[in-house]
Amino acid sequence: MDFHCHLDMIAFDHNREEIAAEFFNSGFSRLVTAADPYEENSFAKTREILSYHKNIYCTAGAHPHSADRYTPAIEKNILCFIPESGAVAVGEAGLDFHYNLSTPENQLKVFKRQIAIAQELQMPLVIHSREAEALVLKTLEEAGFHFPVVFHCYTGNMEDAREIVKRGFYLSFSGIVTFRQKKTDYLRDIVREVPLDRLFTETDSPYLAPEPFRGSPNTPLLVRYTAEKVAEIKGVPVEELNRCVNENFERLITVTK
């Protein structure tokens, strides 16, 4: 499955329905697309995407990149869209101290609001975290958040990954694990250690195309390359990995049923 992509983005305007059809015709089981409350047409596009197939799901939440633009109207739209769409999680939400496209103060303020929304709706959180994993975990703990949490496109360190797993949370891995660079070896070490019942595979498309397509536009169809690499690292057949990922997803969404 592709746990996290952005099918609403303009990169897919010319072929998103065809991509979704090919995805399921190729034997993939589930696709989760992230809706963006800051983009004017994202919610409308996501509603359309959900109509393509019964196993397309969505999440919705305020991304830290745009925290400086957060308003009561944005929050109201999130609160309306989530139940109306049948979203399975709040997010992606969190903190990004790598790009700092919004002030750290506003990022933290908005993240706390997303936690509160997830608590109110009794839903999982999908986390975006760059160079902020320890503070994300601290903020979740201080809020007393006790629903499932997935750190999507994980790029943090081993110590934080161990703490995430220790808390019963999940890590989702993207095409970065396939990159033929020594500097990504640490991420493969993390994949090796994370239990099968605590991980997901994703594309984060249209970003982060895996090898051998690196540098090209990414699509949910390329999640197979990430899954194959993760299975190779774990030393299990890809069929077993996919079964575990799907079981993890079923476990994740039971809190919203």
- Tell me: the pLDDT tens digits for 157-200? 999 999 999 999 999 999 999 999 999 999 999 999 999 999 99
pTM score above 0.85:
yes
Answer yes or no: is pLDDT of 75 > 80.
yes
User: pLDDT band for position 255 (50/70/90)?
Assistant: confident
Q: How far is CA 218 from CA 11, 12, 26, 30, in A?
A: 10, 10, 16, 17
Does residue 64 carry a pLDDT above 80?
yes
Tell me: the pLDDT tens digits for 216-229? 999 999 999 999 99
pLDDT at 257 over 60: no
- The helix (run of H) or strand (run of E) holding residue 9 is none
> Which tokens belong to 79?
């609160």
For β-strands 149-151 and 89-96, DSSP reports them as unpaired
How would DSSP label each residue in 154-196?
Answer: ----HHHHHHHHHTT-EEEE-GGGG---GGGHHHHHHHHHS-G
Q: What is the pLDDT of residue 6?
A: 98
Query: Rounded distance, CA 240 to CA 186, Å?
Result: 23
Closest CA to 253 of 94, 133, 90, 114: 90
pLDDT at 171: 98
Question: CATH second-level architecture of 2-256?
Answer: Alpha-Beta Barrel (3.20)
